Structure formats: structure tokens, C-alpha cells
């Protein structure tokens, strides 16, 4: 009797697995092709807006960029019309830059498609004055001395802030900056930080909202006599920018049979894509 129950349970389980992995019929699904608009901008470079078409649901076709759209970025009474760049296949305006603590609207008008719109509020600049290098802060696990960099981050308390950290060392032989490994000394900061698949080190201000926080990084030992030594780049990300990076990292197109794939964040009305910005603060330690 027990063998018979086990046999029928196995048959039912295999039937469930087969039904879960069976491809869905797509013939009766009406997939709407929409504008895909993407811009991740900052205050140091002119923004580039990419406009393409979204893929149909089966994802078998690819679509070229849309060169005949009209793209505008608006702030108050000022309107900047972006021109299409044939070489880079995007829309840009060479002299225009996003300003900190400023609201912007995006409008993309392409013939035959609904008007795509979005908006962003640029975060404010972060003050890093007081950031210092310490040639020796202790000994590593192998008995070698290690240096440190104390980032003095003055966090605004009016809003939530989302940060991305990048750490560079100066290569004297090549006379150029090289991105280096970024490791936090403080265990609470290290546990709160997130590292995504693209190498971004992200940190919310949950532990220090509205206060001045010293964030200590491990740094190579022996840079005391070198000039310059290090460069710290801190991006204050708009919330949509932060959660967009998170959604990309969480995206699982081939999850388990009982797991739905995570969705990529989009904030484009009448379309898909992302319109988000950050303010960058660069601090060089000589």
C-alpha cells in the first residue's frame, strides 16, 4: 500500500514539474511595443539620453535606436532640446549639465508612439572636506602594516541619501588613476554596504542620517611620500538611481520553478526605462 502511494505521489510531482516548465502559448498575447528611454546622468558630464523601442514579449527581435524623436530636458522655465548623435546613436547637448538640488522633467516625443515623460530631483553636493590619509592604522592578518583613509562625510539630514563609493590609487609609472579595492574598516558600515555585480559599492545613510560620519577605508601602506596618493569619488544617488542599480542586481531571469523573476525598476511614463541622476564629489589626497 505504501509503495502504491509513493508511486502515485511521484507521478503527481512529475506532472507539476512538467506543467511548470512548459512554455506558455504566446500567440494570443498582444505585446505592445513602447519607447525605451534611458538616462543615468550626473553633474559633471553632459547627459546622454538613449531612445530605442522595447522588444516584443518573445524577445526574438531587436530594434534600432529611434533617430527621429524630439527629446527635451526642462527645469522651471528653461528648456534644453537634445540633438541626435549619429555616431553614438543617442540624444545629447554638449554644453548642458545637470545641476545639484534641481528638479528636471524629461519629454521624449517620437512619431507613432505615446509621449514618454519622467522627472528627477538631483541630490545636493556632499561635503568631503577634512578627508585625510593615515599611513599606518594597524597590522593585517599576515603581520604587515596597513594604511587608511578617513572620509569625512557630512550627510544632509533633510532627506534620505544613497551613496556610491569609488576608490583610486595613483600609478606613478603610468601617471594615471587606477581603481582600487574598497574595504571598510568599521564592521557596521561594512555590513550595511552592498556590492553589486558591476562592482558598485552602495551605502544608505541609515546609520548616520543628518550627521557627520567618518568612514574609514583600508588603504595601501607606504604612500606617505607620494604625491598625489588617492582619489575618493562619492556619488550622492537619487533614490531611483539607487533602487535601479539594486533591481538590476536582483534580476533573475531563470529563477526556480516557484520563483518569479525580479522586475527592473522603470520610471518612464508611457514607456519603459530609467531617468535618474547623481551628484559627484571628487576628493584628491596629496
* Residue pLDDT, tens place only, 16-43: 444 444 444 444 434 577 899 999 999 9
Q: Residue 196's pLDDT is what? A: 78
Q: What is the pLDDT of residue 252?
A: 55
Q: How far apart are CA 112 and CA 205, in angstroms?
A: 43
Using omega within 30 degrees of 0 as the cis cutoff, is the peptide bond preceding 228 cis? Answer: yes
Are both 228 and 246 inside the same structural domain? no
Predicted confidence at residue 137, as pLDDT, reads: 84
Same domain, 169 and 39: no
Which residues in the chain show pLDDT less than 50?
2-30, 56-60, 254, 257
Q: Say if residue 136 is in the same domain as residue 229.
A: yes
Query: What is the per-residue burial (b if ≥16 Cβ within 10 Å, else e) of 145-164?
Result: ebbbbbbebebbeeeebbbb
Full residue range of the structural domain in which residue 90 is found: 35-123+241-279
Neighbouring-strand partners of residue 178: 169
Q: Which of 152, 41, 151, 153 is nearest to 100 (CA)?
A: 41
What span, in angstroms and rounded, lies between the C-alpha atoms of 278 and 234?
10
Residues 107, 246: one domain? Answer: yes
pLDDT tens string 124-172: 999 999 999 888 888 877 777 888 899 999 999 888 999 999 999 988 8
166 lies in some domain: yes
The answer to whether the CB of 196 falls within 8 A of the CB of 203 is no
Number of domains in the chain: 2
Cβ–Cβ under 8 Å, residues 149 and 216: yes
First and final C-alpha spacing in the chain: 81
Please tell me the distance from the alpha carbon of residue 5 to that of residue 278, in angstroms, as a whole number.
Answer: 61
Residue 1 lies in a domain: no
DSSP 8-state assignment for residue 282: E
Q: Is residue 217 part of a domain?
A: yes
User: What local confidence, expressed as pLDDT, does residue 263 receive?
Assistant: 79
**Which pLDDT belongs to residue 223?**
74
Amino acid at each position: 500500500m505504501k509503495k502504491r502511494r509513493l508511486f502515485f505521489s511521484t507521478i503527481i510531482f512529475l506532472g507539476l514539474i512538467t506543467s511548470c516548465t512548459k512554455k506558455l502559448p504566446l500567440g494570443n498575447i498582444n505585446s505592445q511595443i513602447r519607447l525605451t528611454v534611458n538616462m543615468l546622468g550626473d553633474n559633471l558630464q553632459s547627459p546622454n539620453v538613449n531612445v530605442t523601442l522595447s522588444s516584443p514579449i518573445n524577445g526574438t527581435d531587436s530594434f534600432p535606436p529611434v533617430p527621429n524623436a524630439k527629446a527635451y530636458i526642462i527645469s522651471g522655465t528653461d528648456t534644453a532640446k537634445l540633438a541626435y548623435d549619429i555616431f553614438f546613436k543617442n540624444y545629447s547637448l554638449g554644453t548642458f549639465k545637470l545641476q545639484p538640488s534641481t528638479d528636471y522633467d524629461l519629454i521624449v516625443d517620437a512619431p507613432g508612439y505615446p509621449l514618454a515623460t519622467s522627472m528627477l530631483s538631483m541630490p545636493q553636493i556632499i561635503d568631503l572636506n577634512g578627508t585625510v590619509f593615515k599611513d599606518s592604522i594597524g597590522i593585517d592578518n599576515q603581520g604587515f602594516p596597513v594604511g587608511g583613509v578617513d572620509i569625512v562625510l557630512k550627510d544632509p539630514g533633510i532627506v534620505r541619501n544613497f551613496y556610491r563609493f569609488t576608490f583610486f590609487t595613483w600609478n606613478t609609472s603610468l601617471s594615471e588613476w587606477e581603481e582600487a579595492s574598497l574595504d571598510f574598516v568599521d564592521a557596521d558600515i561594512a555590513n550595511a554596504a552592498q556590492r553589486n555585480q558591476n562592482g558598485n559599492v552602495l551605502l544608505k545613510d541609515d546609520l548616520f542620517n543628518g550627521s557627520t560620519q567618518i568612514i574609514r577605508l583600508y588603504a595601501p601602506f607606504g604612500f606617505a611620500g607620494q604625491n598625489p596618493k588617492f582619489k575618493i569619488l562619492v556619488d550622492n544617488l537619487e533614490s531611483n538611481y539607487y533602487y535601479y542599480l539594486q533591481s538590476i542586481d536582483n534580476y533573475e531571469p531563470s529563477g526556480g520553478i516557484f520563483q518569479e523573476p525580479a522586475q527592473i525598476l522603470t520610471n518612464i511614463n508611457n514607456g519603459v526605462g530609467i531617468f535618474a541622476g547623481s551628484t559627484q564629489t571628487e576628493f584628491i589626497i596629496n
